[in-house]
Structure 1
Amino acid sequence: MLIDKMLTKDRVLICLLISSHVYFVLGSGSFNVALNKPTWQSSTYRSGVSSRAVDGNTNQRWYGNSCTETNNNKAREWLCVDLKQSFDISSMKIFNRIDGGTNNIKGFEVRLSSTGNCDEGGFISATACYKDHTSTGQSIYTIDRCNQPSVPSLSARFVFVSIKRQYLYICELQIFTGLGSFNVALNKPTWQSSTLGDSSNAVDGNTNQDWYGGSCTITNNKKAREWLCVDLKQSFDISSMKIFNMASCCTDEMKGFEIRLSFTGHCDEAGFTSATPCYQDQAQKGQYVYTIERCNQPPVLSLSARYVFVSVQRQYLHICELQIFAGP
């Protein structure tokens, strides 16, 4: 069956590297939750924008166009990643620049916070969790549990890396979580087959099921199948999904919905057509909240995909929140 090709076995580490780009990393319950998340830095020098730190490109040379760079004017220059929700952080990996300025990162500090913002105030109030004490700059730093062995994990949403009065270069910052399951759809890019209500409402974290709560999507009803798609930005082992249907009206329009999954393609009509069906609703009436474990295929521990489509046949598609969980 086609679905068999999408299953992961024994959660073996799979890492695809093309031209120094990391497109996805799976395995052992560990995920890079920093990939393509929002970033800020205390200042920006030349073309070293902060987003390069989480673009999946681990090229460690300046002309590889994947290293950040700050000025060196402040008491502490910093880079911050907003993970968009709090995660239990098990480890971090920092790819330093290797073609100049390698020693600039000596003495860097990592700070964590569950509140605030990626700004100067957030940096000041964040809690220091790690301080580098190496005598020379390293090519790659791997930091497990902030080098506090007795701490199983550290929970945070905002992660700061900073140095004292130096240019800060980071060619990639990977932040791994390996404990529990988490909603990997939150604030990820979305598209739908047609639009009467913004598709991004489906992943905004707001589970209000009333249309006037301003958090429900809606399509037209003119196509053979109307669909909504979430691009998770990397492949994840999906353990369960939760769909919050509109409760203020039209609940039955969700009846018979289908879920499709794909590793490749895009969130578009061709991607929808080529994606593999994994679940078909058989309920007689629309439900307020649908919880779907492993696509309701109990022998399957998880299903791996980057693109998740939810569709209905010749109906308005309403989704007030789509949560997609990955984890052990």
Structure 2
Amino acid sequence: MILTVLLLIGLLPGPGVTASKENIAVRSRAVQSSTYNELADAEHAVDGNIDSNYMRGSCTHTMPETDPWLRVELPGVYKITSVTIFNRGDCCSERIHGAQVRIGNSLKNNGNENKIVAVIGPMGSEVIKTYKFKATEGRFVNIFLPGQRKILTLCEVKVYADEIFDPKSFYLHDKEDLDNIALRGTATQSSLHSSEISAGFGLPLNAIDGNRNSDLMKGSCMRTQQETSPWWRLSLPRRYVISSVALTNRGDCCSEHVDGAEIRIGDSLENEGKDNPLCTIVSSIPAGQTEHYNCTDLLEGSYVTVVLPGEERTLSLCEVEVFGLPVARCGFLV
């Protein structure tokens, strides 16, 4: 009975799935969207050498291009539970910011449409970063960097499967398995646009009413005044481990009003919650669309703040959805 339950929730491999506690990427086949020069081969990502100096010949490097990628082709299908990225240490550490880790069995669009299990955030001086997530079946592990004139460069990719279950180490990316906890909270924002005070539009609670209608005048969007670093904040009734946040942008106009927004999660109200740990940075969201953002780390807190840095900015969006699990006082998930 216990074995059956573990198989169902993905903690043990099922039929046809290989189990391993070793780095299963080493000496696997690796390919990338382009190769910069003779030092930049994709195979350097799986050669077992974690030297972070590009000139020593153990790092990868694509040409500047749109949506560069690197794919590791594992020797079999695994229930993958974590991926470790070794970034460049000699220079250019910011180039990997925003890269997506995707896992699956499809080679459609070179594997770049497989499931997202993590998004690589700013690594700063860190060279090594491990991303843990719910067991995800696949043979192909892609590092996909969306955007124009991007360069994907890194020095090693390690892949692990069948690791010991630890709820707090998981990236809870399967939003279909989690409730939208934003519906349980209350909301406030830095200001209310003057044209909407009497009409009741643009209110902070409009962003957590469960309605993704993207027309401001339909009464389900929030909007601030034009000001310095406007913000919107969700207050949850208790602390949660939060893995992902979804934002719905306006569709009637002004889709740029969310460009560059920061999503921050934590327990502090200092500086209105704008100094809490960073979940992710929103580059842009198409008009009227909903985008899901996986935090680069599991973050705990009772406040989710969306802040738009800069002067003379207006923050406007139509729904904020937050996915995670509550934290008990002892520090374990309940």
Give TM-score scaled by structure 1 length.
0.43
More relative contact order, 1 or 2 (CA 8 Å, 6+ apart): 1
Structure 1 or 2: more strand by fraction:
1
